[in-house]
């Protein structure tokens, strides 16, 4: 039946023009983290499942060493989108117990393509957990992880970002700029 390429799970995919298609080495994800593997090694069903054929992977791996839970929806109700970034989306989030408005940053695991991406997320959570309580630093409340994403529940900043304020205002007086800079320096020190 013509030339075919072997899919990592044993199924075959037709190659164009009768040439064998070589698959580049891919990263392998496991329950305990991230490891590198070559295309010749076998990949277990538990680690990868293919939904639409060659190159379309759904990765099931764990990023956080000790998440606060696995189902963010048990305690929090996610609302409208507040922002969007390279790896995920931030939603308005309401604590079901206290009715407090918070923010939930959901980082899609599909976007974590390299070991560096995974380590960056781990480091972000570690840093946020270790920050001291301060009125000018957003505090991480809880970190959840499910099969699809990492969900970081944190304080809601209703004022928006400093950059957006600067752009909207156009310019600041020297006194106003000094007050903002003083706050930034106090937080960093």
What is the signed CA dihedral for 112, 116, 119, 125, rounded to 10 degrees?
A: -70
Size of the chain, expressed as the number of residues it contains: 189
Binding site, annotated residues for ATP = 105
Nearest to 165 by CA among 153, 152, 151, 183: 183
* Of 56, 53, 80, 78, residue with least CA distance to 146: 78
What is the rounded distance in angstroms from the CA atom of residue 94 to the CA atom of residue 52? 36
Closest CA to 95 of 144, 131, 141, 150: 141
Binding-site residue numbers are 105
Which pair of structure tokens corresponds to residue 139? 């505090």
DSSP string covering 106-144, please? Answer: EEEGGG--SHHHHHHHHHHHHHHHHSPP-TTSPPEEEEE
> What is the 8-class DSSP label of residue 20?
P
């Amino acid at each position: 039946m013509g030339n075919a390429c072997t899919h990592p799970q044993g199924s075959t995919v037709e190659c164009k023009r009768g040439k064998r298609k070589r698959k580049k080495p891919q990263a392998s994800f496991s329950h305990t983290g991230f490891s590198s593997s070559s295309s010749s090694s076998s990949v277990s069903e538990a680690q990868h499942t293919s939904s639409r054929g060659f190159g379309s992977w759904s990765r099931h791996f764990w990023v956080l060493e000790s998440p606060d839970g696995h189902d963010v929806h048990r305690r929090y109700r996610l609302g409208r989108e507040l922002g969007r970034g390279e790896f995920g989306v931030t939603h308005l989030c309401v604590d079901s117990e206290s009715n407090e408005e918070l923010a939930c940053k959901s980082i899609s695991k599909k976007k974590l393509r390299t070991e560096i991406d995974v380590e960056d997320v781990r480091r972000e959570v570690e840093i946020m957990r270790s920050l001291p309580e301060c009125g000018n630093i957003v505090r991480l409340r809880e970190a959840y992880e499910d099969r699809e994403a990492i969900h970081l529940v944190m304080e809601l900043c209703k004022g928006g970002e400093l950059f957006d304020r600067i752009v909207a205002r156009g310019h600041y007086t020297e006194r106003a700029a000094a007050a903002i800079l003083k706050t930034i320096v106090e937080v960093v020190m």
